[in-house]
Structure 1
C-alpha cells in the first residue's frame, strides 16, 4: 500500500494539520511516511498545500508527482492540482467552497460539503477533519484511532478537550462518502 496525497487550500483551512495528522498516524502504525509543506508568499490567507505519503515500503522522494488522491478545500486548489492525480485516483472536493466540476472524467470524485457539515456539529474549524474522515473512509490509509492519537501529539494536552468534536467530524466525513 502506498498513498500519495496532495492536500490543498488557503491558509487557515487546516491543510497542514491534515498532513501532519496523517503523517503522525502513519508513524504510530509503523508505516513509512513523508510530509512536505508548501506555502504561498502571503502572510495570511494565501495558498497552502502539502504532499503526504503513507506507505508500507520505502519512500524514494517526498514530492508527490502522481497523487493517488487529492483533498482540495478551495477552487484554485482544484484548478492547480486536478492534473496531478493518477487515472482512477480519488478527488475529494469541498463543495461548500467549490462550485465547479473537475475537467477530467477519469477520476473518482467526491463532493463533500465540509463547511456545512462542520457548522451542523457546531464548529466551523473542523471542516478539514470532515475531509480527512472522508479520505480515510475511502482509502483506509490509517485508522481513525491513530489519527486521534496523532492529534494528541500534534496539538498537545492543551487541545485535548477538542478531541471529541474532531472525532465526530471524522465520522461525519466518513458518512458523507458511504
Structure 2
C-alpha cells in the first residue's frame, strides 16, 4: 500500500493540520511516512499545501510530481493541482471554495460540502475534520482509532476536550461526501 496525497487550500483552512494528523496516524500504524508542508510567508489567506505519503515500504523521495489523491479547498489550488492527479486517481473538493469544478474525466471526482456542514454543526473550525472524514471514507488508509490518536498528538493539551467534536466532524464528512 502506498498513498501519495496532496492537500491544498488557503492558510487557515487546516490544510497542514490535516496532513499532520494523517502523518501521525500512519506512524502509529508503523507505516513509512513523509509530511512536507509548503506555504507562503502569510499564514492566513495565502495558499498552503502539504504532501503526505503513507506506505508499507520505504519511501524513496518525498517530492512528488503526481498524486493518487488531491484534496482541494480553493480555486487557485484546483487550477494548480487538478492536472497532477494520476489517471484513475481521486480529486476531492469543497463545494464552497470552488467556483469552476474540475473538468477531467480520467479521474474520480468527489464533492464534499464541508463548509456548509461545519456551519450546520455551529463550528467552522471543524471544517478540515469534515474534509478528512470524506477522504478516509474513500481511502481508509488509517484507522479511526489512530486518527483520533494523531489528533490528540497534534492538538495542544488545552484543546483535547474538542476531540469528541472532531470525531463527530470526521463521521459527518464520511456521511456527506458524494461522487460528481
- Normalising by structure 1, report the TM-score: 0.96
Q: Secondary structure at the match of 1:37?
A: strand
Q: Does 1:160 align with 2:160?
A: yes
Q: What's the counterpart of residue 177 of structure 1? A: 177
Q: What's the counterpart of residue 113 of structure 2? A: 113
Q: Secondary structure at the match of 2:44?
A: coil
- Structure 1 stretches lacking a partner, 5+ long: none
- Structure 2 stretches lacking a partner, 5+ long: none
Q: 1:156/1:44 Cα in 2 relative to 1: closer, same or farther (>3 Å)?
A: closer
Aligned ranges 1:10-159 → 2 under 5 Å: 10-159=10-159
Contact 2:151 2:163 in 1 (8 A): yes
Q: Secondary structure at the match of 2:20?
A: helix
| Alignment partners' CA distance in 2, 1:26 and 1:156 | 20
Contact 2:36 2:62 in 1 (8 A): yes
Q: Secondary structure at the match of 2:22?
A: helix
Contact 1:52 1:64 in 2 (8 A): no
Q: What's the offset of the Cα at 1:43?
A: 4.6
Contact 2:12 2:43 in 1 (8 A): no
Contact 2:70 2:85 in 1 (8 A): yes
| Alignment partners' CA distance in 2, 1:74 and 1:126 | 17
Q: Which runs of 4+ in 1 moved over 4 A?
A: none
